[in-house]
Chain A
Amino acid sequence: MENHFETGLDNLRQKLLLMASRAETAVNESVQALMQRDHDLAVRVRESDQVIDNFEIEIDEMAIQLLTKAPLATNLRLITVAMKISQNLERIGDEATKIAKRARDLAQEPPVKITLDLPKMATLALAMVKDALDCFVHRDPNAARAIIPRDKEVDALNKQMHQQLTQHMIGEPQSIARCLHWIVAAKSLERIADHAKNIAEEVVYLYEALDIRHPAAKIQTPANPA
């Protein structure tokens, strides 16, 4: 006899992984469009964001229907975590759209004469997203924990790129508008890594029922007023 509730949970997991795959593709293609000055690809990435948005809506609907069925323990955490992961994936899709928009505009301008390691940043951020989702699939909270510090590496690259571009803008003020596009694109990749970190934290919560977000905030919780 089929366990229909479990089937519903499996469908939710599958939908989430499909959404993740679309979000990863969008980021990859947006960076490709940026580096290769591919205007058409950038336009396509922007148009595909609607698909990722629709996934978020569908996952929320599935989750709400499953919540009405009174899930408990792990199942309850899975449903709420799925909603949060899908929200992070939707925002990753939004960041890909922002990069694509900058790629579209930059493709119509002369190139900026500066060497930026944006692909490395994209590789690191996307690896974090992929690894966080692998931990979700393989039920591995320890590996999820190991992803969290990697966010610092992406932050450092963003900072380094910001400094490079600032120097370039001082030296070549006519490139300011184009350099600002690059700054925004790098910032988007930095945000994608933040979302991957959020997903990793949710995976720890899912499998260990332990909230590891904002560790400092708990210490500073004010006492109840008299």
Chain B
Amino acid sequence: MQSTPAHSFLSAAPALTVRKLSIYFGQNKVLKEVSIDVSAKAVTAIIGPSGCGKSTFLRALNRMHELTPEARMDGEIRLFGEDIYARHVEPVIVRRRVGMVFQKSNPFPTMSIAENVTVGLRLNGLRDRKLLAERTEESLQMAALWNEVKDRLNAPAISLSGGQQQRLCIARALAVRPEVLLMDEPASALDPLATQKIEDLIIDLKKDYTIVIVTHNMQQAARISDFTAFFYLGNLVEFGQTAKIFTNPANKQTEDYVTGRFG
């Protein structure tokens, strides 16, 4: 099992530096001393069978475990060099810098499309209507949804299709201009066409954002990611360039998993 990364393939300074990260739920150690460097402005896919710790890892990257009473962690996570678990760092600030998109699209049902996009900004106290309108368009453009909704920004968000709702959630995450975008199986509930749109969007977004995505779909990881990390039973088994992980993995367990022999 690999715990210390040897990441010669990272060309630039990493966006996230994770060192000896362990997560416990009560007595149960679900993530075991994971060390990994997440490359900036690239897509990193986290793969592994159910219960391997991949979502746990993802949630640790924006301090979401603090919402779970019995959860605790050891180790260190740095965002562009800054320790995100340091005493003086507010979790709210971390979550603004590290956005999250969930498996099931979760727009606020009572809000319009535009209100959904700007909810984070308004919670942060932004009231300037012009600025809010600008940020709405910018975020919807980036989420490749603008052309489909620009004539009905005041329509309820739940009037959108499943794929559009998921892109709306991506727009909502982008509106606060995060540095990193975490995605937990963002296309698993979508049909092939909507999935393709999300995948193309993710590839487009990496020009400006660092993206970490959890996926059960091996081919999706191959299609969209630059780096892939394979987790098994809470351990990071292998981490490397996606092209290598899917054609010539170093570890037998990785090969067995990506070829569908177990999991």
Q: At the interface with chain B, which of A63-71, A169-177, A191-199, A214-222?
A: A63-71
Tell me whether B71 is interfacial, beta carbon within 8 Å. no
Per a CB cutoff under 8 Å, which of B203, B219, B243, B246 touches A4?
B203
Whether A1 contacts B223 by the Cβ 8 Å rule is no
Whether A70 contacts B199 by the Cβ 8 Å rule is no
Whether A69 contacts B222 by the Cβ 8 Å rule is yes
Q: CB within 8 Å of B: which of A145-172? A: none
Q: CB within 8 Å of B: which of A1-20? A: 1-5
Q: CB within 8 Å of A: which of B195-234? A: 196-197, 199-201, 203-204, 219, 222-224
Query: Smallest Cβ distance from A91 to chain B, in angstroms?
Result: 25
Tell me whether B50 is interfacial, beta carbon within 8 Å. no
Whether B222 contacts A68 by the Cβ 8 Å rule is yes
Q: How many residues of A are counted as interface, with CB atoms below 8 angstroms from the partner's CB atoms?
A: 10
Tell me whether B2 is interfacial, beta carbon within 8 Å. no
Instruction: Give every chain B residue within 8 A of A65 (Cβ-Cβ).
Output: 243, 247
What's the count of A-B pairs with C-beta under 8 Å? 31
Q: In the complex, which residue of chain B has the Cβ closest to the Cβ of A71?
A: B219
Q: How many residues of B are counted as interface, with CB atoms below 8 angstroms from the partner's CB atoms?
A: 15
Tell me whether B30 is interfacial, beta carbon within 8 Å. no
Q: Given A69-B219, A70-B219, A70-B222, are A2 and B204 also a contact pair (CB < 8 Å)?
A: yes
Query: Smallest Cβ distance from B143 to chain A, in angstroms?
Result: 10
Tell me whether B144 is interfacial, beta carbon within 8 Å. yes
Query: Smallest Cβ distance from B161 to chain A, in angstroms?
Result: 16
Q: Chain A interface secondary structure, helix, strand, loop or mixed?
A: loop
Q: Which 9 A-B pairs have the closest CB atoms?
A: A70-B219, A68-B222, A68-B246, A1-B144, A69-B223, A4-B203, A69-B222, A1-B200, A4-B200
Query: Smallest Cβ distance from B154 to chain A, in angstroms?
Result: 24
Instruction: Give every chain A residue within 8 A of B243 (Cβ-Cβ).
Output: 65, 68
| Cα separation A70 to B218 with both chains bound (whole Å) | 9
Q: In the complex, which residue of chain B has the Cβ closest to the Cβ of A72?
A: B192
| Cα separation A64 to B201 with both chains bound (whole Å) | 23
Whether A2 contacts B223 by the Cβ 8 Å rule is no
Q: In the complex, which residue of chain A has the Cβ closest to the Cβ of B242?
A: A68
Query: Smallest Cβ distance from B164 to chain A, in angstroms?
Result: 13
Instruction: Give every chain A residue within 8 A of B203 (Cβ-Cβ).
Output: 2, 4
Whether B144 contacts A64 by the Cβ 8 Å rule is no
Instruction: Give every chain B residue within 8 A of A3 (Cβ-Cβ).
Output: 196, 200
What are 29 A-B interface contacts by the 8 Å CB criterion? Answer: A1-B144, A1-B197, A1-B200, A1-B201, A2-B200, A2-B203, A2-B204, A3-B196, A3-B200, A4-B199, A4-B200, A4-B203, A4-B223, A5-B196, A5-B223, A64-B247, A65-B243, A65-B247, A68-B219, A68-B222, A68-B243, A68-B246, A68-B247, A69-B219, A69-B222, A69-B223, A70-B219, A70-B222, A70-B223
Q: In the complex, which residue of chain A has the Cβ closest to the Cβ of B217?
A: A70
Instruction: Give every chain B residue within 8 A of A2 (Cβ-Cβ).
Output: 200, 203-204
